[in-house]
Structure 1
Amino acid sequence: MKASPQMQARLLELQELDTRIAQLEHRLASLPEQIDITRMEREQPALEADVVRTSTEVSDLEREVGKAESAVQLVRDRAARDQERLDAGSGTAKSLQGLQHELESLARRQGVLEDAELEVMERLEQAQAGQEAATAAQQKHEGRLAELRAARDEKAATIGAERDEVAAGRAAIVADVSAELLALYERLRAHSGSGAAPLQQRRCGGCRLELNTVDLNRIKAAAEDEVVRCEECGRILVRTAESGL
């Protein structure tokens, strides 16, 4: 393959930009905020489930309190009616005595129901405290997550803008490289991460190995426009003033 020395030198510029683009993309993929975001997003369903669970518990206990209050009120109403009849003194002595016994029974029943009502109300207070704690934890979590996402997006925008700028410079260089040479470069870059390297002080700038005398003589004898490659790593070797030939 033939390519002018200037075109081959452009490959080194292209490789430098490709390395920079890869570095920027790695930074984008490994932002520290994203690591925390991923962890917190995994934790989010459990926090949401806690809110649902505690809210359901509060709703159930509120219904229980309502039922307990209704049961107590029914006994109170019954006792009030009996007390009115007893105070009126209407009826036989036996019926009035029966009312007295029923009032005593209702009083005991009311005490039991009020104790049960108090116990449910205490459980409701505890459940409401748990609901408030779960809601607060979720809101704090969501607030922190929003902060992290904003910080990540800001950094990503800055890095992305730099990457786009570098990519624009890359496009300008690509326009100066022949399709055949560019295809070889891209194929090598896909295989080893870089497609071209400078020959410096008799070493390949890609694999960092020193070329033997035979390879150095072969490259020295090659025409300036001949594209040469490292025998060890296969990269395109670009000859420079520091090649040591």
Structure 2
Amino acid sequence: MANAPVADQRQLLEVQALDTKLGQLKHQHGTLPERGTVDEISGQIKDLSGALTASRTAASDLTRELTKAESDVEQVTTRLQRNQARLDSGGASAKEAQALVAENESLTRRFGALEEAQLEVMERLEAHKDTLDKVEEANSGMEAALEEANAKLRAAIEAINEQARATIEERKKAAEGLDEGLLALYDKLRAQLGGVGAAALVGGRCGGCRLTINPQELDAIKAAPEDKIVRCDECGRILVRVPEPVSPLAAE
């Protein structure tokens, strides 16, 4: 492809500008600060999850321990009450009564020890529940913060997507009717050269690689027909010749 209408070549710069904007929007999409916030809070929740699991497990273990202690105390209490009821009935023989009294003394001592153990477990459980409540509260706060951060991220993404949709439509209109060969070459170069396939030639400098064209090459470009597709000798991009701005001093 050696030639393309001048108007198409200049319109290609508008297509390039819109493609550049789309590339910028894609970059913004991947580097939104809201993503960092979500990742940071998610990391904090992950770090806390181990402590939360351990704390919940410990609370569950202490609850089972307390339930067992309460059951032991209840069993001893029931046995004491049953023995005392037998003694109070007067139906026990002297030997049986003596045995019941001795057993009650032993049960009373055991009751005291079990009750003390029960109180100790209750105190440990109460203290641990206080700690667990604080960890649960911290976790709930972080989960709420994560939900809010995700909502902000979704809003930021949608704002970028909305801009991208509008830009894509503009790009379609800008590329509509362009010389097919010119557009195919542009797309090929854009894929190879970091998203920039065409650049303006202004002041003897390529707008793509920012390098100054050597004088011999620049003279050849200026001498070429207007509809000839010219390329930057340094980077290979399509060079679009645009009218040089006229200095107000030129007329003097």
Answer whether TM exceeds 0.5 for this pair.
yes
Residues 229 and 236, structure 1, Cα contact 8 Å, conserved in 2: yes
Residues 200 and 239, structure 2, Cα contact 8 Å, conserved in 1: yes
The match for 2:218 among 200, 216, 219 is 216
Provide the residue aligned with 2:125 in structure 1: 124
Q: Report deviation, 1:54.
A: 3.0
Cα distance in 2 for partners of 1:205, 1:243 equals 15
Q: How many residue pairs end up in the alignment?
A: 244
Residues 199 and 239, structure 1, Cα contact 8 Å, conserved in 2: yes
Partner letter of residue 223 of structure 2?
A
Provide the residue aligned with 1:76 in structure 2: 77
Residues 37 and 149, structure 1, Cα contact 8 Å, conserved in 2: yes
1:47-126 correspondence to structure 2 within 5 Å? 47-126=48-127
Provide the residue aligned with 2:21 in structure 1: 20
Cα distance in 1 for partners of 2:175, 2:39 equals 37
Q: Tell me, which stretches of 5 or more residues in structure 1 are unaligned? A: none
Cα distance in 1 for partners of 2:188, 2:181 equals 11
Cα distance in 1 for partners of 2:186, 2:215 equals 25
Cα deviations across residues 103-144 of structure 1 (Å, max 9, x unaligned)? Answer: 221111111111111122122223322332232222111111
Cα distance in 1 for partners of 2:180, 2:6 equals 16
Cα distance in 1 for partners of 2:165, 2:91 equals 99
Cα deviations across residues 137-159 of structure 1 (Å, max 9, x unaligned)? Answer: 22111111111111111122222
Residues 41 and 145, structure 2, Cα contact 8 Å, conserved in 1: no
Cα deviations across residues 24-46 of structure 1 (Å, max 9, x unaligned)? Answer: 11111111111121233344344
Provide the residue aligned with 1:199 in structure 2: 201
Residues 199 and 242, structure 1, Cα contact 8 Å, conserved in 2: no
Residues 200 and 243, structure 1, Cα contact 8 Å, conserved in 2: no
Provide the residue aligned with 2:250 in structure 1: none
Partner letter of residue 25 of structure 1?
K
Partner letter of residue 163 of structure 1?
A
Q: Report deviation, 1:89.
A: 4.7
Q: Report deviation, 1:97.
A: 3.2
Provide the residue aligned with 1:227 in structure 2: 229
Cα distance in 2 for partners of 1:156, 1:91 equals 86
Q: Structure 1-normalised TM-score?
A: 0.91
Residues 196 and 238, structure 1, Cα contact 8 Å, conserved in 2: yes
Cα distance in 2 for partners of 1:95, 1:149 equals 75
Q: Report deviation, 1:96.
A: 3.2
Q: Structure 2-normalised TM-score?
A: 0.88
Partner letter of residue 207 of structure 2?
G
RMSD: 2.1
Cα deviations across residues 213-239 of structure 1 (Å, max 9, x unaligned)? Answer: 210111112111100000000010011
Partner letter of residue 230 of structure 2?
V
Greater displacement, 207-216 / 130-139 = 130-139
Provide the residue aligned with 2:238 in structure 1: 236
Provide the residue aligned with 1:166 in structure 2: 167
Residues 66 and 118, structure 2, Cα contact 8 Å, conserved in 1: yes
**Is 1:175 aligned with 2:179?**
no
Residues 199 and 243, structure 1, Cα contact 8 Å, conserved in 2: no
Structure 1 runs (4+) deviating above 6 angstroms are none
**Is 1:151 aligned with 2:152?**
yes
Q: Report deviation, 1:94.
A: 4.3
Cα distance in 2 for partners of 1:88, 1:240 equals 119
